[in-house]
Amino acid sequence: MKFGIVPVNVGVQSAAQMIAMAQAAEELGFDSVWTFEHVIVPHDYESKYPYNKSGKMGAAPETNFVDPLIALTAIAQATSTIKLATGINIVSQTNPLLLAKQAASLDFVSGGRFMLGAGIGWLREEFEAMGTPFERRGARFDDYMVALKKVWSGETVEHESEFLSWHNFKSYPLPVQRPGVPIHMGGNKGRIFERIARYGDGWFIPGADLRQLPGQLDALKSALEAEGREIGEIELSTIWVPQMGREMLDGLEKLGVERAVIMPSALGGDGGPEALKDFARDYIAG
């Protein structure tokens, strides 16, 4: 089992703190650092956060959400081997050409260590603040997945759709990783398995449940078969913390989950490098 940490960019009080966590994780044998993304945190919102019974995300409006791509670029320059991942970025509310350029550039400056965690989004108020329609965000996401890969191909881009009109250009540098930056999709609802099968390289599983996961994996396998692909092509990651128990960790591994992403705040103490050291001693060193 590989281990990552998340979020490396939220609630930090300085760039030095963020970088020190990433450097400690790399030194201790963690394979990746992950970010969360919200451009804004409204004081109040009607949208329902889908992964918490309260319907609210656990962050006050004053919480530092360092932009994920900027945070990971800073970390890239202070590390050498650890993978850098967004978990997840809200692709449907952003400019996809700018995202394609930023993702390729981050993969370039990091020497091919970037993974783009991509999601559709749930916070209508954030979409409105970004000037992007909340409606048809799923269709927009699908279109953007196709368009991103065209930009990363190195070929002349031609893409005419309901949402985009791109013609007769190239965008360099290309990602170091070929054919492009790996895309890890987050979510467990709607057409997520079809989307992973068509466009994805990984599934970031929110709130993995050992009772439900086998059925979800069967659905993913069926979707992959329809696209001529196999489950071995998809890297499976999920959040896990020691309080969930080693039995659950073993169960996830038996089901094919390859990476457990831990939240340092759940490790006790200040959740800093020392907490990571204790975790690594118990779960990674051996």
Q: Please give the model's pTM, rounded to 2 decimal places.
A: 0.96
* 2-283: CATH architecture: Alpha-Beta Barrel (3.20)
DSSP state of 10: B
Query: For the chain, which residues make up each domain, given as ranges?
Result: 2-283
Q: What is the DSSP letter of 91?
A: G
Q: What is the pLDDT of residues 202-237, one digit of tens each?
A: 999 998 999 999 999 999 999 999 999 999 999 999
222, amino acid identity: S
Q: Which of 230, 236, 233, 239 is nearest to 260 (CA)?
A: 239
Instruction: Give the pLDDT confidence score for residue 285 in this predicted structure.
Output: 76
- Which of 193, 239, 197 shows the shortest CA–CA distance to 88? 239
Could you tell me which of 110, 173, 121, 175 has the C-alpha nearest to residue 144?
121
In this prediction, residue 286 carries a pLDDT of 60
Which tokens go with 67? 């932009």
Residue pair 87/35 in contact by the 8 Å Cβ criterion? yes
Chunk the chain into consecutive blocks of 10 residues (it has 286) and report each block's average pLDDT, rounded to whole numbers.
Answer: 97 97 98 97 94 89 97 98 97 98 98 98 97 97 98 98 98 98 94 98 95 97 98 97 96 98 91 93 85
**How far is 183 from 206, CA to CA, in rounded Å?**
16
One-letter amino acid at 186 equals G
Task: Output the CA angle 258-72-58, nearest 5 degrees.
Answer: 75
Q: What is the residue type of 131?
A: G
- 135 vs 145: CA distance, rounded Å: 17
CB proximity list for 79: less than 8 A, separation 6 or greater: 22, 23, 26
User: Quick one: pLDDT at residue 53?
Assistant: 84
